Structure 1
Amino acid sequence: MWQTFLSSLFPLRCFGCGLIIPSHQKYLCEKCLGRMPYTHWRLDSENCMYEKINSLVNIESASALLFFDKDNLTQKLIHFLKYKNYPELGAWMADLWFENNKNQIFLKDIKSVVPVPIHRKRLKLRGYNQVVPCAQRLAHLLNCEYNDSTLERTLHKKSQTMLNKFDRIAKMKNTFTRINNHSSHYLIVDDVFTTGSTIVSCAEELLKNPQSKVSVFTLAIA
């Protein structure tokens, strides 16, 4: 009764188009859900994201769920995820990706899921790390370790949107520190892949142990 009353006062709205949606639906109306810009990439070495990262640091596989572009549906979802206090949106997106990748051979070798850490200053300001629920959900789905204690972000960087690829990579040097020397096959999880500077920096730290391997998953790729 109270839920019905509250729903009438504060109806759920689609993150894409703003239309009111039924209480049983999550985040998007049926129309917007049907126009999600999926990459349809498997977690493997046969996509451009893998090629971009692997040209800079040796990884095993890579995948992204959605294509990100200015003003497209993905940008709206990421905006809600990062700035509107909807971190659980990442777990929902992890479910969407896993449903189409659960039988991929590369997944069977993943032993530890690592969210890209944010600096404590940004964590205090935002109140949460937006990729944590996604990483936790993937660890559950893969039946492997969730690991947020191996990498630490030790330098706080200002926005790098105006820098080119090589300047970004140079700026990201020594941004992350490896806290322990455990070996594993790590799946690094981030929200949006742009130049790859953040992913490369994280991977370099994890691969300081020569027995370790790295794969990458992001919710979107620009």
Structure 2
Amino acid sequence: MWQEILSTLFPNRCIGCETIIPSSQQYLCEICKANLPFTYIPFNDTNIIHNQINNSVKIKFASSLLFFSKENVTRQLIHHLKYKNKPEIGSWLAEIWFMQNEGNPYLKDIKTIIPVPIHPKRYKKRSYNQIMLCCQKLATLLHCNLDEHLLQRVSHTESQTQSSKEKRLKKMKNAFKRNSKSSDHYLLVDDVLTTGATLIACTQELIKTKNSQVSIFTLAATI
């Protein structure tokens, strides 16, 4: 009874268009889900995502699930993921990406999942790292380790959405610290790839240890 009353007062709505959807339906109505702007960029070393990062620091493989723009539904999904306490969206999208790449032999090379860390000040404000549930899901699906403490964010920067790549790279210099000298093939995971400055800074820190390799996955990319 109470569940019915709550459903009436606070109906489950599509993140994309605000249409009321069944409580069993995840995040989007069928129309918005059908219009998700997938990149269909496979996890490999011959795509635009890989090239964007690899031009600055050497990585193994890379992929992004969705195109991100101010006009598409990806923007709303990422906004809810980061600011509306909906980190489970990351888990849902991680599963979609895995299904698209299931059977990809390069995924077998991944040994440890690494989330891009957030600074303690931001964690205190938000109370969660928005990409953590995505990483947990990937670790389960790929049968590999998850290490959320290997990388640490040691400098706090304000939003850099209006900054150029050069300014972002400068601000990101020495922003992360490695807490272990272990070597592995890491899958570094973040929500959105824009200039790539954050991912580049993380990768530079990770490969300071000999024999460490880094691959990249982001839920979305502004390409």
Give me the TM-score of the superposition, normalised by structure 1. Answer: 0.98
Alignment length (residue pairs):
222
Q: Tell me the SS of whatever aligns to 1:42.
A: coil
Offset from partner CA, 1:49-103 (integer Å, 9 cap, x none) = 1001001111000000000011311001001111111011100010111111121
Superposition map of 1:171-210 within 5 A: 171-210=171-210
Aligned counterpart, 2:39 = 39
Supply the distance in 1 between the matched residues of 2:92 and 2:57 (Cα, whole angstroms): 30
- Alpha-carbon distance between aligned partners in 2 of 1:3 and 1:47, rounded to the nearest angstrom: 47
Q: Percent identity?
A: 52
5 Å-filtered alignment, 1:42-191, equals 42-191=42-191
Aligned partner of residue 199 in structure 2, secondary structure: helix
Structure 1 residues 160-169 or 192-201, which shifts more? 160-169
* Cα drift, residue 105 of structure 1: 1.0
Task: Tell me how far apart the structure 1 counterparts of residues 137 and 147 of structure 2 sit (CA, whole Å).
Answer: 12
SS of the residue 2:214 aligns to: strand
Separation in 1 of the partners of 2:217 and 2:201? 15
Q: Secondary structure at the match of 1:100?
A: helix
Instruction: Give the match's secondary structure for 2:52.
Output: helix
Which residue of structure 2 lines up, in the alignment, with residue 15 of structure 1?
A: 15
Using the TM superposition, give the Cα deviation of residue 124 of structure 1 relative to its aligned residue in structure 2, in angstroms.
0.2
Cα deviation, residue 134, structure 1: 0.5
> Quick one: distance in 2 between partners of 1:8 and 1:26?
18
Alignment partners' CA distance in 2, 1:164 and 1:141: 36
Structure 2 runs not aligned, ≥5 long: none
Q: TM-score if structure 2 supplies the norm length?
A: 0.97
Instruction: For residue 216 of structure 2, give the secondary structure of its aligned residue in structure 1.
Output: strand
Deviation at 1:4? Answer: 2.8
C-alpha RMSD over aligned residues: 0.9
> Residue by residue, what CA displacement relative to the aligned partner does 1:178-202 show, whole Å, maximum 9, x if unpaired?
0000111000000000000000000
Task: Write the distance in 2 (CA, Å) between the matches of 1:120 and 1:128.
Answer: 10
